[in-house]
Structure 1
Amino acid sequence: MPVQLLEEAQVPQVLDVIAVRAWCSLALEALGRDRAEIDAINVYPVADGDTGTNLYLTLESAHQAVEAVFAGLEAGPEPAAPALPEVMRAMAHGALIGARGNSGTILAQLLRGMAQVLAADGAGEGDHAGGADADALRLALGRAAEAAREAVAHPVEGTVLTVATAAAEAASAADGGCREVVRAAYEGACVALDATPGQLAALGSAGVVDAGGRGLVAVLGALSEAVSGEAAPVRGRGAGTRARVDAVPDGVLLECPEDEGAAGPAFEVIYLLEAEDGAVARLRTRLDALGDSLVVVGGDGLWNVHVHVDDAGAAVEAGVEAGRPYRIRITHFGLGDVHATHAAAPRERAQRAVVAVVPGDGLAGLYREAGATTVPDRPGEPPASGELVDAIRRAHAREVVLLPNDAELRHTAAAAAEQARSEGLRIALIPTRSAVQGIAALAVHEPDRRFDEDVVAMTSAAGATRYGELAVAERQSWTMAGICQAGDVLGLIDGDVAVIGGEVPATARTVLDRMLAAGGELVTLVLGEDVSDEVAAGLERHVRESYLAVDTVVYRGGRQSALMLIGVE
């Protein structure tokens, strides 16, 4: 077979799960590469230079969710690829919970719109379980554009909404298969992007295209490459506005003209909200009266709310009345993320701080008492690198020790550390794989000694701590200890399943015995909210009677913590 025909035969004629996974990776890579350029041309609706960063962090969360789906199935007794509906739902949900800024929130809704079509339920499984054909892709891109417009209180032309609509219209008019549809969508988006300076005065005055639309072009280019196997063509410079965009130096923020957008609300407020549809409809009306740039995306009880207001407290109170807001972020334009309704007075940087990812509110309190800045690690919602960078900035120190406390967060933590170093901070990443290792590191932390010495001591303490965990199996699966059934209690040691039991106390005792067989002086138990005080007392008694020279300390992990964490030093 000729080489060209062979290559064409390898290109999928549908958008399948492999293509979606590749799309996520390629889009994240593209936004990472173009982030500085997109930030530099961000002049609308607020010239705060963060559109590229917000899009990157939003897609990073979507990428993590997709990879988690694949990792869960690949770890089973019979590794298999997930179905397209499951992957698309994960991608949309990941973007929703990680959406940042106006542009990221709209991107999350675009992905949700696509998922509504590509993950449509049929007879027990998605109609596109094996992959989406060209017709499905046309419908998905059309629904994405519609959903994004529906989410914005007052749509404005010349923005990412215009670019999304043009992409959908071009895809709808395209003949051929998936390759031709996604290429048409990309090219239609490029043409629409070039026209945005003539549609929005702020862009025309600054000589730039819309930053959100530029980000969407990068995402659609990645989709085209994932489906066709060929990188999307780089469009040549057009006259005037496009040439001026390409000439913007890295890191230069173009200011919005004084007659547009110079005087606006002082705060950007973003939060996730658990609420019913009716309450969200009332919330939209109230927030629309409070400010502008209102975008509310989501559904099925979980929403992401974004608005620009002068009264940040009122925007949060409106969320409280509608349901349960959390992950609340309040940014004062020009002052950065303040997490409050007033700006704090400038303060001098501390010499050293510790930033730690912590599961459960109980452990978070313990870490804070020890002086650490904490980042929550909620079940199914691992923090993105942007959240870790935000925490490093909040710590306001020249030197920072970062404790990820989870083996799965090593790459995320490394990315955050690299970003912080680029801002001039001195960062040490200690590869803690469990919160109990973080506790051991904090116990020897001395901020007054030399940084390198402190890092070595903390690293040594964490490395000398074996870690275990008790969890409940969610489904039948193959493990290092054999096949477990749904509902079994699993005892993990250093990340691997070592014990399969039927009840918590007996499984915990077995795990303790195996861990203490290699010696130890101190046992740390972190109990989830479902573990009783009687169980804790029984385990303390077991250690005291069986290992005379070993002490035991017990902490409450609180809500959203693991069933039980065990540390042996």
Structure 2
Amino acid sequence: MPQTDDDMDAVAVRTWCSLALEALGREREAIDAINVYPVADGDTGTNLYLTVESAAQAVEAVFAAHETGVTTPVAADVVRAMAHGALIGARGNSGTILAQLLRGMAEVLAVGHDADHLRRALAVAAEAARQAVAHPVEGTVLTVATVAAEAAARTGHDAGTAAVARAAYEGARTALAATPGQLAVLGRAGVVDAGGRGLVTVLAALVEAVCGQAPERTHVAVPALPVPDDCVADEAEGGPAFEVIYLLEATDEAVDRLRTRLDRLGDSLVVVGGDGLWNVHVHVDDAGAAVEAGVEAGRPYRIRITHFGADRVHPHTEPVQRAVVVVVPGDGLRGLCKEAGATTVLARPGEPPASGELVDAIRRAHAREVVLLPNDAELRHTAAAAAEQARAEGVRVALIPTRAAVQGIAALAVHEPDRSFDEDVVAMTAAAGATRYAELAVAERQSWTMAGICQAGDILGLIDGDVAVIGEDVPQTARDVLDRMLAAGGELVTLILGEDVPDSLAHALEQHVREGYLAVDTVVYRGGHQSAPLLIGVE
């Protein structure tokens, strides 16, 4: 819906986020393909998409909070949510810089949302992004943001928000076309800056949000010019082995010291945020030292470490015929599934993967046919969206609606890539469907359950998603859950132990099954850091 010429309210911001996410979803593969700086790992488009996806989810949460009431969100709340969502979900070098751009814009747009505020917002955003990067380089998204802000500033005082947005977009396109002549690695590759192209896409969505009509998107031609002698040297070849990203709760003073220390450890350092919450991104050879620096500065969490040697794009690799992509709740199962040949996506406690992460995993599998195992009932819609996106890109995807990790393990155990795709999917689906699943959890408060009233601290045994047993300790509750599940028969019990669960529990449960159910075998896996202390499967 078009906005008035001097209005960028809460609905416009929501529309902007939605349109930007949709556009990056369409273009991220093309943006990934031109990603050669600062590391040629082909993930800029994906990282930008995941960052904006997090921003859009935060915005939708604000609107959802008003659905049952008579009030509507105000622009200040929405732009702050957009910035916060981008901050906590920022991925990679490009996503982290975009998060800072959105944060800079939010600082101004939270105060006012007319044309003058939009001009100032673009200027503040460009400057904030430069300050966040330890060593700014021209010919990157930073240049594109600066030129966009300068173009917006040149609009007349009588210009409305639509004119300011258009000017910023056109300025960004002009700057993007010039990037190959500013950065040697771009000129040699014959491409424009990937992060800059992503920003142009985001600004095009802004134009559509405030005008009601998308700007004409013509191809940005790369000039066939020799690279100038004074053009920035190629810094993308070689370089550190790891990308480290984490959220950090710390004071401004501690972050200043952290910047200095990380700058000595590696490169591509970007630290964005404020008000006690920061997103830290750096490329280093010693990933442990980068994390330790965060621990000394404050409380790091959502730590992501990527080894470039393992994840860089190999565009000429011949796709395999079939692959399995599986969501796993802990590092232990991740290793197990990788050994079985699967591509994994780690679901951290309280942090389910977004659809973009699943699509990225499908791409990393580099296969013509993919079987997707979400292993969580709550991920069914997310997995379905990812499968649909991958199908649109030409991959044949079968989604098996596994609701727990033990069902995924059962499906993976019968996977045979040499048989036909349909036969393989049927066999894997049958194995998953024949596996009942359970988990143990700790009750957080008094509440009604299918098994009666539980108190805070009680051990809950959930079978197929419903509370079936309420106990006082883990060992007895686990035995009770096993007895209920095996009463209906079974041939194999799978136990997946959480990080802090002792081996003695596994031994005791194995003995319980062996003594009470002679024909039933038991296998035990270490799940690592997972939300449940114990997962149980019965086939």
With the length of structure 2 as denominator, give the TM-score of the two structures: 0.71
Picking from 406, 413, 416, the partner of 1:436 is: 406
State the Cα deviation string for residues 169-218 of structure 1 (Å, max 9, x = none). Answer: 85999989xx965x455224214214416875627997997653443343
Picking from 271, 280, 284, the partner of 2:244 is: 271
Is the alpha carbon distance of 1:52 and 1:394 closer, same or farther for their aligned partners in structure 2, counting shifts above 3 Å?
Answer: closer
Query: 1:522 & 1:272 partners in 2: Cα distance?
Result: 40
Aligned-pair distance for 1:365?
3.3
Q: Where do 1:338-353 residues align within 5 Å?
A: 338=312, 353=323
1:60 matched to 2:39? The reply is no
Aligned-pair distance for 1:266?
1.3
Aligned-pair distance for 1:524?
2.7
Is the alpha carbon distance of 1:86 and 1:501 closer, same or farther for their aligned partners in structure 2, counting shifts above 3 Å?
Answer: farther
Secondary structure, counterpart of 1:471 in structure 2: strand
Letter in 2 for 1:202: G
Letter in 1 for 2:198: G
Picking from 121, 130, 153, the partner of 2:134 is: 153
Kept in 2, the 8 Å contact 1:46–1:261? The answer is no
Is the alpha carbon distance of 1:481 and 1:34 closer, same or farther for their aligned partners in structure 2, counting shifts above 3 Å?
Answer: farther
With the length of structure 1 as denominator, give the TM-score of the two structures: 0.68
Name the structure 2 match of 1:186: 165
1:234 matched to 2:228? The reply is no
Query: 1:223 & 1:147 partners in 2: Cα distance?
Result: 19
Count of residues paired in the alignment? 519
Kept in 2, the 8 Å contact 1:39–1:53? The answer is yes
Bigger Cα displacement from structure 2, 385-394 vs 520-529: 385-394
State the Cα deviation string for residues 151-179 of structure 1 (Å, max 9, x = none). Answer: 12233566533554566685999989xx9
Query: 1:191 & 1:420 partners in 2: Cα distance?
Result: 32
State the Cα deviation string for residues 79-130 of structure 1 (Å, max 9, x = none). Answer: x999999976775565446544432221122234456678xxxxxxxxx8xx
Aligned-pair distance for 1:406?
2.2
Name the structure 1 match of 2:526: 556
Is the alpha carbon distance of 1:297 and 1:451 closer, same or farther for their aligned partners in structure 2, counting shifts above 3 Å?
Answer: same
Bigger Cα displacement from structure 2, 535-544 vs 350-359: 535-544
Letter in 2 for 1:271: V
Letter in 2 for 1:365: G
Name the structure 2 match of 1:109: 100
Query: 2:259 & 2:195 partners in 1: Cα distance?
Result: 22
Is the alpha carbon distance of 1:509 and 1:66 closer, same or farther for their aligned partners in structure 2, counting shifts above 3 Å?
Answer: farther
Kept in 2, the 8 Å contact 1:69–1:82? The answer is yes
Query: 2:319 & 2:33 partners in 1: Cα distance?
Result: 28
Query: 1:499 & 1:83 partners in 2: Cα distance?
Result: 44
Query: 2:527 & 2:12 partners in 1: Cα distance?
Result: 40
Picking from 522, 529, 532, the partner of 2:492 is: 522
Name the structure 2 match of 1:362: 332
Name the structure 1 match of 2:346: 376
Is the alpha carbon distance of 1:14 and 1:534 closer, same or farther for their aligned partners in structure 2, counting shifts above 3 Å?
Answer: farther
Name the structure 2 match of 1:328: 305
Is the alpha carbon distance of 1:451 and 1:44 closer, same or farther for their aligned partners in structure 2, counting shifts above 3 Å?
Answer: closer
Bigger Cα displacement from structure 2, 418-427 vs 459-468: 418-427
Bigger Cα displacement from structure 2, 366-375 vs 544-553: 544-553
Is the alpha carbon distance of 1:185 and 1:348 closer, same or farther for their aligned partners in structure 2, counting shifts above 3 Å?
Answer: closer
Letter in 2 for 1:218: T
1:31 matched to 2:12? The reply is no
Query: 1:198 & 1:526 partners in 2: Cα distance?
Result: 53
Query: 1:479 & 1:132 partners in 2: Cα distance?
Result: 48
Bigger Cα displacement from structure 2, 377-386 vs 484-493: 484-493
Residue identity over aligned pairs, in percent, reads: 67
Is the alpha carbon distance of 1:476 and 1:452 closer, same or farther for their aligned partners in structure 2, counting shifts above 3 Å?
Answer: same
Kept in 2, the 8 Å contact 1:499–1:510? The answer is no
State the Cα deviation string for residues 384-426 of structure 1 (Å, max 9, x = none). Answer: 4555456556656665543222234445545655676678766
Query: 1:28 & 1:107 partners in 2: Cα distance?
Result: 13
Kept in 2, the 8 Å contact 1:99–1:304? The answer is no
Name the structure 2 match of 1:295: 270
State the Cα deviation string for residues 484-516 of structure 1 (Å, max 9, x = none). Answer: 776565544434x43584645465566556655
Kept in 1, the 8 Å contact 2:147–2:175? The answer is no
Kept in 2, the 8 Å contact 1:208–1:244? The answer is no
Name the structure 2 match of 1:196: 175
Is the alpha carbon distance of 1:425 and 1:137 closer, same or farther for their aligned partners in structure 2, counting shifts above 3 Å?
Answer: closer
Name the structure 2 match of 1:218: 201
Query: 2:78 & 2:207 partners in 1: Cα distance?
Result: 18
Kept in 2, the 8 Å contact 1:44–1:202? The answer is no
Is the alpha carbon distance of 1:482 and 1:371 closer, same or farther for their aligned partners in structure 2, counting shifts above 3 Å?
Answer: same
Give ranges in structure 1 of 5+ residues lacking alignment: 119-127, 238-242
State the Cα deviation string for residues 248-270 of structure 1 (Å, max 9, x = none). Answer: 8xxxx999947545733314753
Is the alpha carbon distance of 1:288 and 1:561 closer, same or farther for their aligned partners in structure 2, counting shifts above 3 Å?
Answer: same
Kept in 2, the 8 Å contact 1:167–1:184? The answer is no
Kept in 2, the 8 Å contact 1:499–1:507? The answer is no
Query: 2:126 & 2:238 partners in 1: Cα distance?
Result: 27
Kept in 2, the 8 Å contact 1:349–1:398? The answer is yes
Query: 1:138 & 1:501 partners in 2: Cα distance?
Result: 59
Picking from 471, 481, 485, the partner of 2:441 is: 471
Letter in 2 for 1:160: V
Kept in 1, the 8 Å contact 2:41–2:311? The answer is no
1:458 matched to 2:432? The reply is no
Name the structure 1 match of 2:285: 313
Query: 1:406 & 1:503 partners in 2: Cα distance?
Result: 26
Is the alpha carbon distance of 1:363 and 1:48 closer, same or farther for their aligned partners in structure 2, counting shifts above 3 Å?
Answer: closer
Letter in 2 for 1:327: R
Letter in 1 for 2:329: P
Give ranges in structure 2 of 5+ residues lacking alignment: none
Aligned-pair distance for 1:43?
7.7
Letter in 2 for 1:30: A
Aligned-pair distance for 1:461?
0.3
Aligned-pair distance for 1:435?
0.5
Is the alpha carbon distance of 1:89 and 1:347 closer, same or farther for their aligned partners in structure 2, counting shifts above 3 Å?
Answer: same
Secondary structure, counterpart of 2:352 in structure 1: coil
Letter in 2 for 1:103: S
Letter in 1 for 2:311: D
Query: 1:280 & 1:467 partners in 2: Cα distance?
Result: 45
Query: 2:502 & 2:30 partners in 1: Cα distance?
Result: 54
Name the structure 2 match of 1:121: none
Secondary structure, counterpart of 2:48 in structure 1: helix
